Structure 1
Amino acid sequence: MPPPPGEPSRVRQALRGVRNPFYAAQRTFRPSRPGRVEDPQVRKLQLWRTALGLLAWVGLMVTYNAVADAAGAKDVADERFQQSWYSVLMLVCTFPVVVGAFVTAARGGLRRVYLRRALRPLGAVAAIMASMGTSALAMAPELAGLRDAVGLPGKIAIGVLCLWAVGFALYGIGLSLVHVFRTADIHEVLPPVLAGVLVWEMALLDVITGAYPQVPAAARAVFTLGAPLTVTALSWWELRRLRHRHGLTVRAALGR
């Protein structure tokens, strides 16, 4: 019996994902719903928003002598990764609240449609959490007995799996922040709304935790408020472009 149409292609994609964690991350964290409006200008804006945020953060650290030597550079890199991971964790917590409110507010059959579309974004959330948890296999003291039990071949397999998971997770964190856990697969208006909520939550977290203690208060206030104000403006622009160019609005998405 001949294979169904498209099956060899799916098999090749699966094998490529097994070999290449970055390809697997693209397949997992980039929106792919058929018929989804994809505006090149919006996509460029999302990438620039992420890149400029990183450059502004690095500039702030360099300006106020957070990077004085190689050890300082490593500390800054570690801190930036930790902040990105905190952003993802905040996004994981915010995701069900915003998406749940969006689905609940939708009328008629739209609720079922959005719930069905939410499966892939939920899968992306599960994938990033699982990939980050994989490192425990190689490093957690509590699992030392398991590593000893599997012997050298098992330890090699665990090491390879963890290397793959690190590449997948690092790239996945970036894609998750750019594409806001592929919530465009639910509806195109959700990413700018969710991004706006997330960035204000992160600003509040910075204030509560006293982030950037080495930076003068005035510069710290400008930096802390600059990110949410900028992202809010960009989110508003994205929603405005979706409305004027593609006829997509929050009200229409809710069937109201």
Structure 2
Amino acid sequence: MQLARTILGLAAAVWLVASYPLSGGGQKFILGKLLELAFSCGILAVGSVVGIAAFLIASTPARRRDFAGRLRRPVSAALLLAAGPLCIWVSVETLKGNLISDQELKDFFFGLGLPEFICFVLSFFALAIGWLAAVAVLLGSSVYTLLATYLCVFTCFMAKDVHQLLPALISPLLVWSLFAFQLFNGPDVAAPPEVLYTFMLGGPLSVTALSVWEVRRLRAHHAITLRRALGH
């Protein structure tokens, strides 16, 4: 059901963009979507930390130790996501020459006692190889960061590994925060208000409904409730 909702949401977004003109240019639209993805990731990161911390604090000591033992994958997901922007920053700083400069390379080779011509040649090749490597890392880490961000948002930072209830409790926080962000940021397309707000409300309402349904199914079919999850 969650996958079907996602596919329908993407289809609705494509139809909306294809049917109505963009409020700004295409570049502004793409940058806006990237900003929304980053905002989603930030909201989910905060929500996951708060949700997991609340579970740990409110649970019994035995359950607390159990939950703490399940934090490996959520923490790993956060660290893997942070690796992408870190690689982007290192690549950009390398391309700008802030990490190491031509003169520093020359001084390094001069310090080895090599002839001046050899030092110039080696520093040139080192800079060229470093520049090409930085470009490759920048492109690869940009794609990696986008994919990792999407997966972290889609899986709620692996919060289900701590407990099955957490994704259903955290997801509504994300979608309603995004709804507020879109209201503040303005519409992406010049659509009539009834179409625009139906589309904007469709995501939060459908995700909230699915979360409620998920919580009810966990209780009805697996006897999983918040009280039992906390060990009370």
- The one-letter amino acid of 2:183's match is V
Distance 1:226 1:147, change over 3 A: farther
Q: Does 1:218 align with 2:171?
A: no
- The AA in structure 2 aligned to 1:83 is E
Matched, 1:65 2:21: yes
CA apart distance, 1:233:
0.5
Amino acid at match of 1:169: T
Could you tell me which amino acid in structure 2 is paired with residue 193 of structure 1? L
Matched, 1:239 2:205: no
Counterpart CA distance in 1 for 2:100 and 2:40 is 31
Deviation (angstroms), 1:141: 8.7
CA-to-partner distance for each residue in 1:114-169, whole Å, 9 max, x for gaps?
Answer: 12312321221232133123222233599532254562222233233333322322
Gaps spanning 5+ residues in structure 2: where?
A: 103-125
Q: Name the aligned partner's letter for residue 63 of structure 2.
A: L
Find the residue that maps to 1:255 and give its secondary structure. Answer: coil
The number of residues matched between the two structures is 209
- SS of aligned partner of 1:214: coil
Instruction: Please name the residue that 1:134 is paired with.
Output: 87
Distance 1:138 1:50, change over 3 A: same
Corresponding residue to 2:53 among 100, 107, 121: 100
User: Counterparts in 2 of 1:195-210, with a 5 A limit?
Assistant: 195-210=171-186
Asked if the contact 2:67–2:162 (Cα under 8 Å) also holds between the matched residues in 1, the reply is yes
Residue of 36, 39, 46 corresponding to 1:83: 36
Aligned counterparts of 1:163 and 1:238: Cα–Cα separation in 2: 38
Structure label with greater radius of gyration = 2
Give 5+ residue unaligned stretches, structure 1.
Answer: 1-44
The code of the aligned residue for 1:88 comes to: C
Shift in alpha-carbon separation, 1:106–1:88, aligned structure 2, 3 A? same
TM-score (norm 1): 0.71
Identity of aligned residues (%): 30
For residue 160 of structure 1, give the secondary structure of its aligned residue in structure 2. Answer: helix
CA-based RMSD: 2.6
Q: C-alpha separation between the residues in 2 aligned to 1:143 and 1:104?
A: 46
State the TM-score, normalized to the length of structure 2. 0.78
Where 1:181 maps in the other structure, the secondary structure is coil
Of 175-184 and 207-216, the range deviating more from structure 2: 207-216
1:178-235 deviations in Å (ceiling 9; x for gaps): 2111111101111111111111111122223334363333333222222111000011
Shift of 1:67: 9.3
Equivalent residues of 1:137, 1:143 under 8 A apart: no
Distance in 1 separating the partners of 2:191 and 2:50 = 33
Aligned to 2:72: 119
